[in-house]
């Protein structure tokens, strides 16, 4: 039996994403509905809501869309340059809002806050990334920077690179975060060495290293909680 996809305007008003957003607010919409509003139109045989579901599945959700480069997104079936640009612009707006103004900046009060900020994205990276969260005196996020990509060890991590933005921003403290692509967040001997070196460098610069988090697949470890490098 042949099935025909309903155009979005043929759906009941209560099921159309824009109308639902107006009636119940954006927080009540699914990821597919939010993406459908950005895409605006579907393609032959696929309405925009179905296209949004397909794109989210193909790229692995919002974090996959964020990681995908423009050309990769543009080439996806049903996308094209206009839709790809709309999605990339919206994701960038969301990223900038996180660090928008001092009163709106996220405040870090625990290792769980750090994990909540970066775990979704970093747990799926296929290479090791070392990121630095630069904080003001209130532990509010000033900037997050990627320092190195690739295998991390005490020889490859340079304190000058880790603290570069912190010095520019006059940050009071930093937190470093890196991922283990294996999925196991257990700290290695090199992780402990790197942590000790950066604690010492921070003491010389009067910029405290608050913590070093390691992110795995669905799990994370705070090295400070385990007293690894701080002992």
CATH class entry, domain 8-98: mainly alpha
Say whether pLDDT at 6 is over 80. no
Q: What is the DSSP code (8-state) at residue 110?
A: S
Structure tokens at 91: 């994701």
Q: Which of 142, 188, 156 is closest to 212 using CA atoms?
A: 188
Q: Where exactly are the structural domains of the chain? A: 8-98, 102-222
The 10 Å CB-count burial string (b at 16+, else e) for 119-152 is bebbbbbeebbbbbbbbbeebbbbebbebbeeeb
User: What's the pLDDT score for residue 218?
Assistant: 82
Return d(Cα 197, Cα 90) in angstroms, integer. 39
Give the pLDDT band (50/70/90) at residue 104.
low
pTM: 0.59
- Which residues lie below 8 Å from residue 111, measured CB to CB, with a gap of 6+? 211, 213, 220, 222, 224, 225
Weakest mean pLDDT among 42-46, 56-60, 110-114, 125-129: 42-46
Structure tokens at 147: 């320092």
Give me the DSSP letters along 24-51: H-GGGS-HHHHHHHHH---BTTB-HHHH
User: What's the pLDDT score for residue 101?
Assistant: 58
Interval 222-230 mean pLDDT: 91
Q: Pairing relation of β-strands 129-135 and 173-179? A: antiparallel
User: What's the pLDDT score for residue 2?
Assistant: 35
Say whether pLDDT at 68 is over 70. yes
Return d(Cα 109, Cα 114) in angstroms, integer. 9
Interval 28-41 mean pLDDT: 88
Say whether pLDDT at 14 is over 50. yes
Q: Which CATH number does 102-222 carry?
A: 3.40.140.10
């Amino acid at each position: 039996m042949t099935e025909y996809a309903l155009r979005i305007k043929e759906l009941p008003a209560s099921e159309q994403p824009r109308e639902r957003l107006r009636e119940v607010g954006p927080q009540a919409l699914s990821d597919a509905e939010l993406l459908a509003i950005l895409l605006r139109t579907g393609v032959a045989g696929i309405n925009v809501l179905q296209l949004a579901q397909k794109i989210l599945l193909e790229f692995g959700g919002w974090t996959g869309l964020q990681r995908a480069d423009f050309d990769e997104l543009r080439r996806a079936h049903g996308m094209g340059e206009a839709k790809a640009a709309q999605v990339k612009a919206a994701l960038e707006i969301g990223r900038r809002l996180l660090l928008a103004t001092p009163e709106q900046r996220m405040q870090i009060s625990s290792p769980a806050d750090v994990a909540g900020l970066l775990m979704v994205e970093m747990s799926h990276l296929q290479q090791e990334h070392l990121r630095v969260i630069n904080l003001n005196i209130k532990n509010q996020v000033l900037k997050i920077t990627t320092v190195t990509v690739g295998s991390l060890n005490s020889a490859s991590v340079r304190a000058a690179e880790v603290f570069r933005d912190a010095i520019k921003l006059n940050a009071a403290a930093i937190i470093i975060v890196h991922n283990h692509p294996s999925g196991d967040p257990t700290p290695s001997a090199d992780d402990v060495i790197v942590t000790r070196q950066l604690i010492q460098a921070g003491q010389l610069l009067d910029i405290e290293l608050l913590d070093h988090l390691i992110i795995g697949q669905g799990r994370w470890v705070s090295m400070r909680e385990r007293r690894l490098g701080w002992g």
